């Protein structure tokens, strides 16, 4: 009986220990997180081997905006710009050629006009020179007609008589005689002539004297 009682006591003690152990374990289970079985169901990922590094030097690619940094221009844009520049240069060249041709034509026209005016002026001067030479030739002939002996005769005559004879002569001969006479004798003869005739001969004589003065200055 004693053995049975001891076994009962031991059994009760074991039951009490088990109950106390379960009571202490329940709060810990409440605080712990539930197990996620999905994590265990996932297949582990196998790490892929990396490719071997290339021994060659890596190619460095320029950034997308390298054209802006280095100043490079796209081929199409460069071709368009060159085409525009060539068109502008061709236009400027054509305009310059036309302007040069117009200027040359204007200068040629001005030179021709100046040449025409110069030729006309030269012709006028030649005509004046020919007229002057002709007049000098006539004057020389006038003086030759009045010989020294004839001049001496009129210089000794009475002014009134000499005036009548000289007034009846031709203009060139009368002027030549008066030019050869001394100034006092010639003035006395002209004083005896009619006013119109005397004035005409005096005018002719004055023209001859002006020619002599001009020739002497040369």
CB 156 within 8 A of CB 125: no
**Residues 181, 155: contact at Cβ < 8 Å?**
yes
Lowest mean pLDDT among 1-15, 73-87, 136-150, 201-215: 73-87
pLDDT band at 24 (very low <50, low <70, confident <90, very high): low
Q: Is residue 71 left, alpha or beta, with left meaning phi > 0 and alpha meaning psi from -120 to 50?
A: left
Kind and range of the H or E element at 107? helix 75-145
At a CB cut-off of 8 Å and minimum separation 6, what does 68 contact? none
Token couple for 144 = 């030759």
Give one word for 95, left, alpha or beta, with left for phi > 0 and alpha for psi -120 to 50: alpha
- pLDDT computed for residue 75 by the predictor: 55
**Alpha-carbon separation of residue 70 from 66, 73, 76, 81, 100 (angstroms):** 6, 9, 17, 18, 42
Q: How big, in percent rounded to 5, are the helix, strand and coil portions of the chain?
A: 80, 0, 20
Angle at 68 (CA atoms; ends 65, 69), nearest 5 degrees: 90
pLDDT band, very low/low/confident/very high, at 125 (cuts 50, 70, 90)? very high
The pLDDT assigned to 99 comes to: 78
What pLDDT sits at residue 189?
92
Give percent of the chain with pLDDT exceeding 90: 17
Q: Residue range 153-182: average pLDDT?
A: 88
Q: For helices 195-217 and 75-145, give the axis angle rounded to 10 degrees.
A: 120
Nearest to 204 by CA among 128, 142, 130: 142
Q: Mean pLDDT in the chain? A: 72
Q: Are 156 and 182 in contact (CB under 8 A)?
A: no
- Report the share of the chain in percent with pLDDT over 70: 58
Hey, what are 64's tokens?
């997308």
Classified as helix, coil or strand, 3 is helix
Tokens coding 130: 């020919």
Chain centre to alpha carbon of residue 118: 32
Confidence at residue 121, expressed as pLDDT on a 0 to 100 scale = 93
Q: Domain coordinates of the chain in residue numbers?
A: 146-217
* pTM of model > 0.75: no
CB 146 within 8 A of CB 179: yes
Please tell me which residue, 50 or 95, carries the higher pLDDT value: 95
């Amino acid at each position: 009986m004693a053995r049975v009682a001891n076994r009962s006591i031991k059994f009760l003690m074991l039951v009490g220990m088990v109950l106390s152990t379960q009571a202490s374990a329940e709060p810990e289970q409440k605080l712990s997180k539930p197990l996620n079985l999905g994590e265990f169901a996932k297949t582990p990922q196998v790490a892929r081997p990396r490719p071997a590094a290339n021994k060659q030097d890596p190619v460095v690619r320029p950034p997308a905006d390298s054209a802006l940094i280095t100043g490079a221009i796209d081929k199409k844009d460069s071709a368009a710009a060159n085409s525009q520049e060539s068109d502008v240069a061709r236009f400027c060249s054509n305009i310059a050629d036309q302007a040069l041709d117009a200027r040359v034509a204007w200068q040629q026209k001005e030179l021709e006009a100046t040449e025409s005016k110069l030729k006309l002026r030269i012709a006028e001067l030649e005509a004046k020179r020919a007229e002057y030479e002709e007049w000098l030739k006539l004057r020389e002939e006038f003086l030759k007609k009045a010989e020294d002996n004839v001049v001496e005769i009129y210089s000794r005559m009475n002014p009134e008589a000499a005036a009548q004879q000289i007034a009846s002569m031709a203009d060139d001969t009368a002027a030549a005689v008066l030019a050869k006479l001394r100034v006092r004798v010639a003035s006395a003869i002209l004083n005896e002539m009619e006013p119109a005739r005397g004035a005409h001969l005096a005018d002719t004589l004055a023209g001859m004297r002006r020619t002599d003065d001009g020739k002497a200055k040369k």
